[in-house]
Amino acid sequence: MILTVTLNTALDVTYTVDALVPHGSHRVGEVIERPGGKGLNVARVLGALGHDAVVTGFVGGANGDVLRGLLAPLPPRDALVEVAGNTRRTLAITDRSTGDTTQLNEPGPQVSPADWAAFLRTYEELVAGADAVALCGSLPPGIHVGAYAELVRIARAAAVPVLLDTSGEPLRRGVAARPDLVKPNAEELARLTGSREPLRAAGDARRRGAHAVVASLGPEGVLALTPDGVWRAAPPAPVRGNPTGAGDSAVAGLLSALAEGLPWPERLARAVALSAATVLAPTAGEFDAAAYAELLPRVTVEPHVPAP
C-alpha cells in the first residue's frame, strides 16, 4: 500500500471558456469538479496505474462532502480526517483559444490542535502498513510550520520510504528531517537554497538532509541527484496543454516505480512520461493513458555531465 498525505485537500473546479479576457464577462462552456489537493492527485494516478493507494489528510464541510462523494468510486481508499471547517476550492479557468490555464487557490479550513492530534493517530496507524509515503502540498491554517518534518520523522522511525513535495518553510524544515526524496520545482529549489543553478541547488538540498532530489524543470523534464548517480530525463519534445497536476503525476511515477523496485533511470522515465501525459489530458489533473504509453519508451534519460 502507498499512503499519500494531503493536509490541505481541495475540491477542484475547472471552468472552460472560449477566451479569458481580464475585466470581461464570460460564459462558461464546461464545469468539471473532482477531488483535489496534491496528494489526492498522486493517489488517483497511482490507482490508475494499478497500485493500492490510501489518502489521508483533512476534509470538512459541504465542499468536503462533495469531495468524498467524488472520491468514493475511485481506486484510492479514503482515510481522511474530518474537521469543522469547510474544505477549500481551487478554481482553474481554461482558455480554449490559447490552451492556457489560470488558477485560483483558496486557503483551506482552520485546523485545531485536537484535529492535528486525531490526524497523527490516523497517520501512525497507516504508516505501519505502508510501502511508501508521499507528503504533498501546502499547510492549512492552524498547522505548525514543522508539520511535515514531524511526519517525515514518523515515517523514518517506521522504516518506510518518504517523499516530500511542498515549498517554502515547510520544505526547509522537512528537508532537515532527512526524507528519502524531495521533488521541488526549479523555483522552489531556488527559494530553498538561494541558488538558481539546478545542479548546485540540488546538491545543497542533499547536504541539508534530503537523501535524493528530483527537481522538476518544467517542459525540459527533471534533474535527479541521488546516491546512485545524477541524471537528466526529458520528454521527446515539449508538450502544450494544461500543466495542472503534472508535478503530482511525476510524484506518482516516482512512488510507483519505487514500490516496484525499479532503478532510478526507469523511475525518472515513468515520472516524465506521466507528467507529459497529464499536460496532454483534456481534464486537469488526469493523464492521457494512450499518450503515456506512447511517450514512455521515448523519454531520454542520460547521466548528467555539468558544463565545464
Residues marked as catalytic:
248
* Residue labelled with grid coordinates 472520491: 71
Which residues, listed in sequence order, are joined to residue 233 by a DSSP beta bridge?
222, 301
Looking at this protein, which amino acid is placed at residue 100? D
Nearest of 39, 30, 32 to residue 7 by alpha carbon: 39
DSSP summary character for residue 25: -
Angle at 81 between CA 275 and CA 113, to 5 degrees: 110
- What value, to the nearest 5°, has the Cα angle with vertex 180 and ends 237 and 154? 135
Give yes or no for a contact between 162 and 155, defined as CB atoms under 8 angstroms apart: yes
Query: In the sheet where 10-17 sits, what is the strand order?
Result: 30-36, 10-17, 88-95, 101-105
- What the block records as the C-alpha cell of 43 is 493517489
> Length of the chain in residues, anyone?
308
Pairing of strands 81-82, 132-136: unpaired
Distance, in Å, from the CA atom of 202 to the CA atom of 225, rounded to the nearest integer, reads 7
